[in-house]
Amino acid sequence: MTTIHELDTPAVTIDLDIVERNIARAQEQLARHGVANRPHIKTHKIPALAKMQVAAGAVGITCQKLGEAEVFADAGFDDILLTFNILGASKTERLAELIRRTKRFCVVLDNEAVARELSDAGRRHDVDIRFLVECDTGFGRNGVQNPQAALDLAQAAMRMPRMQFDGLMTYPKSHQDETRLFFQRALQLLGGAGVPVPVVSSGGTANVAGVGELSMVTEHRAGTYIYNDVMMVMAGAATWDDCAMRVRATVVSRPTDTRAVLDTGSKSLTSDYKGVVGHGRIVEYPGAVIAGLSEEHGVVDLSASVERPRVGEIVHVIPNHCCVVTNMMDEVYGVRNGNVEVVWPVAARGKIR
Amino acid sequence: MTTIHELDTPAVTIDLDIVERNIARAQEQLARHGVANRPHIKTHKIPALAKMQVAAGAVGITCQKLGEAEVFADAGFDDILLTFNILGASKTERLAELIRRTKRFCVVLDNEAVARELSDAGRRHDVDIRFLVECDTGFGRNGVQNPQAALDLAQAAMRMPRMQFDGLMTYPKSHQDETRLFFQRALQLLGGAGVPVPVVSSGGTANVAGVGELSMVTEHRAGTYIYNDVMMVMAGAATWDDCAMRVRATVVSRPTDTRAVLDTGSKSLTSDYKGVVGHGRIVEYPGAVIAGLSEEHGVVDLSASVERPRVGEIVHVIPNHCCVVTNMMDEVYGVRNGNVEVVWPVAARGKIR
């Protein structure tokens, strides 16, 4: 069996003990509140890991792109929510095919143009289109802007052929008061109009612990919790011990007393995120700051670190944002007790369409 | 023939007329000063484009990773400079193999630990290791810190078995005064010690036009010039008309009067770069600002744009940093006169080692 020490750098390792603990903890937190777990696979893009999530109790998965859903349908997943507006004949044809080959496939929409295209595709391809109305409850991305608009869009879309309204969906801000008020009013309006709302879907790893604050939520979509990262630790949603992903790197240069350079840059760690100081946490040198990235260089400021590495030393970096690191990798290494237990191809990497 | 309009989004297109013009212009600018052109392939990672650069007069290519060099050696390139410190038995073995199968293969180093490993590998694998000493002339990444250190390292490495000193290399700051002073003094010291310096290698697209300011430079490594991007326009090294790369995207949502959302986010455009306002320039709506990115969403602020797109409309984004967009793509589309002339797999994408 290969040991971690034999892995050339850079390489992304996934600690399997931590992953198993993270999966169990989120599942338990959501189950305690009777909320279904529908993990977002964008974080790992690996069917074997989604199977572990389903084995632990997840009802199905969430994908963000048709290409991701196709990879996971190929791997046997048959209950998929696709949380992105689908437009264009090429995509609606692929959607119809996914609906035909799964037990339950649901999409979202936040405007009538998308609803019309989906309805046309449903007729053309002879499939029913199950949809959630996406609500912008404060995050400021996609979504209808108020509860009345949610009702109006749900009703408009339901009047179109082959369209089946399944409920509401949001990606909430971490502070959830606005989301509660939005959903309360929207459910009141939909109830008043006699429209059943089987699903109310929320999301985000930072919101798993507080899912009980939103009593109307029936299912939750979280991605990052399976690996965790600097962002989640900063948000108070994880500790360093909960971080399963590491970018294994070599110190290739020590140009000055206070500078080290790693063989991992933005092509592994990515330039995410602006809110965090530094580009990842070096486990062995927590006082060091990855101050700058080129594509293949990580420039480390050692000023605040008493211990300083030598050229050739191996270090491990917890990335700022694990989901985007996944997308840079053709494969990752599942490790336990110092050994590489499994090599996973990142099957849904790079599925931009 | 497929037209651009048939390409589903997101997709990365490369304007072939602009690419041909960019290749010719940089070649001419460098040739005018008698400086050899050794383009950095990290920008495109596509052998067919490097062949166009060589056909226009480039002496060889620059790579940043062994994995890139292997792809290009497979494609027939036999004069390669690898501008990254190589460490570890797995990598030095691959290096020896590359040296054996090419006419001229050169690496860089900036410390004795790397020199010793290379020398050991040269003995072990029975190959000579041709190297440049990397100099930090002000950029603050890898490199020896002063001209005396360049001499000392060159001499120390030359004393090691199988090591052949070939000259000096830097990635300069855009302001080149420090680089000139560093190289002048280093050449003086090396000359005084009787050490011939066949190669003095500089780099950067922003420095192509000013290459004449560094009279000692014998070759130049530029990457971005083949595509150009927002960064290069901001640096004054290109105009919008020189930007060959576009991310083709669909407006999937118009949640508010001043907000549009594109189906392209950090998984295509990447989070590079902090120095620029917005995450790319929308060609059709130059007053719009891509204010935020999620992995699959580009959130556009339309406040300053009188014209505003509708849902379903296609737009084209010039990315902030084209090299990192390349690395996100399995393939890109070479286009001319509205048609897709060629589909290029990004052969050296994701070569992190």
Interface of A with B in 47-66 (CB under 8 A): 64-65
For residues A32 and A155, what is the distance between their CA atoms, to the nearest angstrom? 33
The DSSP annotation for A221-238 comes to: E--GGGT--HHHHHTTS-
How many C-beta neighbours within 10 Å does residue A31 have?
13
Q: Per-residue pLDDT tens for B95-111?
A: 999 999 999 999 999 99
Q: Per-residue pLDDT tens for B197-216?
A: 999 999 999 999 999 999 99
Which residues of chain B neighbour A88 with C-beta distances below 8 Å? 8-9, 250, 312
Please tell me what DSSP assigns to residue B317.
E
| Closest CA relative to residue A308, chosen from A277, A292, A286, A280 | A286
Calculate the dihedral angle through the C-alpha atoms of A113, A117, A123, A129, rounding to the nearest 10 degrees: -80
Cβ pair A323:B295 closer than 8 A: yes
Q: Residue A272: its pLDDT value, please?
A: 86
Answer whether the bond into residue B333 is a cis peptide, omega within 30°.
no
Please return the burial class of B313, using the count of CB atoms within 10 Å of its CB with bins 0-12, 13-18 and 19+.
middle
Bridge-based pairing state of the strands A281-282 and A314-318: antiparallel
Q: Does B3 touch chain A (CB under 8 A)?
A: no
The DSSP annotation for A78-96 comes to: -EEEE-S---SHHHHHHHH
Please return the burial class of A307, using the count of CB atoms within 10 Å of its CB with bins 0-12, 13-18 and 19+.
exposed
For residues B264 and B11, what is the distance between their CA atoms, to the nearest angstrom? 9
Q: Does A310 touch chain B (CB under 8 A)?
A: yes
Cβ pair B111:A65 closer than 8 A: no
For residues A126 and B181, what is the distance between their CA atoms, to the nearest angstrom? 73
Q: Does A119 touch chain B (CB under 8 A)?
A: no
The DSSP annotation for B80-115 comes to: EEE-S---SHHHHHHHHHHHHHSSEEEEEESSHHHH
Which residues of chain A neighbour B9 with C-beta distances below 8 Å? 88, 353
DSSP E strands: which ranges in chain B? 11-15, 36-37, 61-63, 79-82, 104-109, 129-135, 163-170, 199-203, 219-221, 245-256, 259-262, 281-282, 289-293, 298-301, 314-318, 331-336, 339-345
SS3 B124: helix
Burial readout A56-75 (b: 16 or more C-beta within 10 A, e: otherwise): bebebbbbbbbbbbbbbbee
| Closest CA relative to residue A260, chosen from A250, A270, A269 | A250
Nearest neighbour of B142 by CB, restricted to A10, A255, A273: A255
SS3 A179: helix
Nearest neighbour of A295 by CB, restricted to B91, B295, B323: B323
Q: Per-residue pLDDT tens for B139-186?
A: 999 999 999 999 999 999 999 999 999 999 999 987 789 999 999 999
The answer, yes or no, to whether residue B274 has pLDDT greater than 80, is: no
For the four alpha carbons of A237, A241, A247 and A249, in that order, the dihedral sign comes to positive
SS3 B23: helix
Q: Which of B9, B253, B256 to mutate to test the interface with A (most CBs of A within 10 A)?
A: B253
Cβ pair A10:B353 closer than 8 A: yes
Which residues of chain B neighbour A329 with C-beta distances below 8 Å? 350, 352
Q: Does B188 touch chain A (CB under 8 A)?
A: no
In terms of pTM, does the model score above 0.95? yes
| Closest CA relative to residue B325, chosen from B294, B279, B276 | B279
Average pLDDT for B300-323: 97
For residues B215 and B31, what is the distance between their CA atoms, to the nearest angstrom? 13
Helix (H) or strand (E) holding A194: none
For chain B, the average pLDDT equals: 97
pLDDT by residue for chain A (353 residues), tens digit each?
A: 899 999 999 999 999 999 999 999 999 999 999 999 999 999 999 999 999 999 999 999 999 999 999 999 999 999 999 999 999 999 999 999 999 999 999 999 999 999 999 999 999 999 999 999 999 999 999 999 999 999 999 999 999 999 999 999 999 987 789 999 999 999 999 999 999 999 999 999 999 999 999 999 999 999 999 999 999 999 999 999 999 999 999 999 999 999 999 999 999 999 887 678 899 999 999 999 999 999 999 999 999 999 999 999 999 999 999 999 999 999 999 999 999 999 999 999 999 99
Which residues of chain B neighbour A270 with C-beta distances below 8 Å? 266, 270-271
Tell me which chain B residue has its CA closest to the CA of residue A249.
Answer: B353
The DSSP annotation for A69-132 comes to: HHHHHHTT--EEEE-S---SHHHHHHHHHHHHHSSEEEEEESSHHHHHHHHHHHHHHT--EEEE
For residues A231 and A320, what is the distance between their CA atoms, to the nearest angstrom? 6
Interface of A with B in 242-281 (CB under 8 A): 250, 252-256, 259, 261, 263-264, 266-268, 270-274
Q: Residue A252: its pLDDT value, please?
A: 98
Answer whether the bond into residue A171 is a cis peptide, omega within 30°.
no
Which residues of chain A neighbour B255 with C-beta distances below 8 Å? 110, 136, 141-145
Asked if B233 and B202 count as a contact pair (C-beta separation under 8 A), the reply is no
SS3 B176: coil
B160 forms beta bridges with none
Q: Does B148 touch chain A (CB under 8 A)?
A: no
